Structure 1
């Protein structure tokens, strides 16, 4: 962790060398999801509810998934741009260093301008929590925190899988955007508004449903059967990182050096 924090400080200082650019990019990141949220607001202003979900319930979904995405995009950006290390042959240097390649790739790039997106999602989340009709208990607050952490792990795992594909394809595949940007846009709404096969895929294969939909049912008191099971579903999102790490290790073992 000490090394990881050093990576953070070094890259933060380098980005702050151009403070005007940093502030403008951060400002822009604040307003990018704002336009999406405005569309969400006008949708409910016109129709009132969406398949039984009111505005503040969906706003809670929105805030959680966008906050998780902002944190993951900030801290795991090294995996998103990993193809550059492969193309330039810089990954070879990481292999001869006495530290984990996961840690080094994580520390290769941080996008601190995503603080703007994080701030915007935090405001939406706080607004939704303050207005939603929920009797907040310690367990529900812990569940909410687990939902955010689970989302961070899911997005980071997808970035890691996309990076692992670079060991065979050299360049990153844009198909990963379907599950990062597309997953973010889809998971900002409760999953039961979609077709059943979509809900099942994004619950049992890529567990966005365990990040947002299922634990949200527990928080709102809509869980059917054991509420404890719904409360613990974010753990599936945390565990999603395990197979992603295994795929990454498999790719590293089969990596062919540039030979330079």
Structure 2
């Protein structure tokens, strides 16, 4: 973690060499998601509710998933741009260093300008929580925190899987965006509004449902059962990273060097 912190410090100092550019990009990241949120607002202004979900309830779902995506995109950007390391042969250098390749790829790139997107998500979350009649207790607070953490791990795992494909395809393939950008757009709504097969896929295969839908039902008081179960459900999303790590190790073992 000390090395990881040094990676972050070095890259942050590098990006701050052009402070005007940094702040303008951060500002852009703050306002761009508002177009998506505005679409959400006008949708509910026209129809009132969607499948029994109100605007503020869906707004909480929106805030959680966008917050998780912003954090993951900042910290796991190295995997998202991993194809350049393979294509240029730079990954060979990572292999001969006495540190784990995952740590080195994570530390190869950080997008600190995503703090703008994160700030926008926090602002939306505060606004919708003010309007939601949630009776808060320690379990619900922990559940909300775990929802965001779970989303970070799921998006990071997807970035990692997409990067692993580069060992065979060299260049990143656009189909991976179905589960990153597409997953973000899909998961900003409760899964109950989709077809059954979509709900099942994004609950048992890629567990976005364990990040926002099931815990969201608990926060809003729409379900019954032991509270601790719903508090722990987001951990399924955290465990999603484990098979991703194994697949990454499999890809590293089968990586064919550039030979230069």
Q: CA deviation at 1:48?
A: 1.2
Number of positions where the alignment pairs a residue of Structure 1 with one of Structure 2: 260
Native 8 Å contact 2:139 2:227 kept in 1: no
SS at match of 1:64: helix
The whole-number CA distance in structure 1 between the counterparts of 2:66 and 2:92 is 34
Give 2:229's aligned residue: 229
CA deviation profile, 1:158-202 (whole Å, cap 9, x unmatched)? 000000000111111111100000000010000000001000000
Q: CA deviation at 1:230?
A: 2.8
Runs of at least 5 residues in structure 1 that lack an aligned partner in the other structure: none
Query: Any runs of at least 4 consecutive aligned residues in structure 1 with deviations exceeding 4 A, and if so which?
Result: 224-227
Give 1:47's aligned residue: 47
The whole-number CA distance in structure 2 between the counterparts of 1:173 and 1:207 is 22
Runs of at least 5 residues in structure 2 that lack an aligned partner in the other structure: none
Give 1:22's aligned residue: 22
Name which of structure 1's ranges 117-126 and 17-26 shifts more when overlaid on structure 2: 17-26
The whole-number CA distance in structure 2 between the counterparts of 1:191 and 1:227 is 21
The whole-number CA distance in structure 2 between the counterparts of 1:2 and 1:128 is 37
Native 8 Å contact 1:223 1:230 kept in 2: no
The whole-number CA distance in structure 2 between the counterparts of 1:180 and 1:84 is 19
Name which of structure 1's ranges 217-226 and 20-29 shifts more when overlaid on structure 2: 217-226
The whole-number CA distance in structure 2 between the counterparts of 1:104 and 1:224 is 44
1:109-124 map, 5 Å: 109-124=109-124
CA deviation profile, 1:84-107 (whole Å, cap 9, x unmatched)? 000000000000111000000000
SS at match of 1:223: coil
Tell whether 2:197 aligns with 1:175: no
Q: CA deviation at 1:218?
A: 1.0
SS at match of 1:175: helix
SS at match of 2:174: coil
Give 1:63's aligned residue: 63
CA deviation profile, 1:184-225 (whole Å, cap 9, x unmatched)? 001000000000100000000000000000011111111244
Give 1:244's aligned residue: 244
Instruction: Report the TM-score when normalising by structure 1.
Output: 0.98
Tell whether 2:132 aligns with 1:144: no
SS at match of 1:165: helix
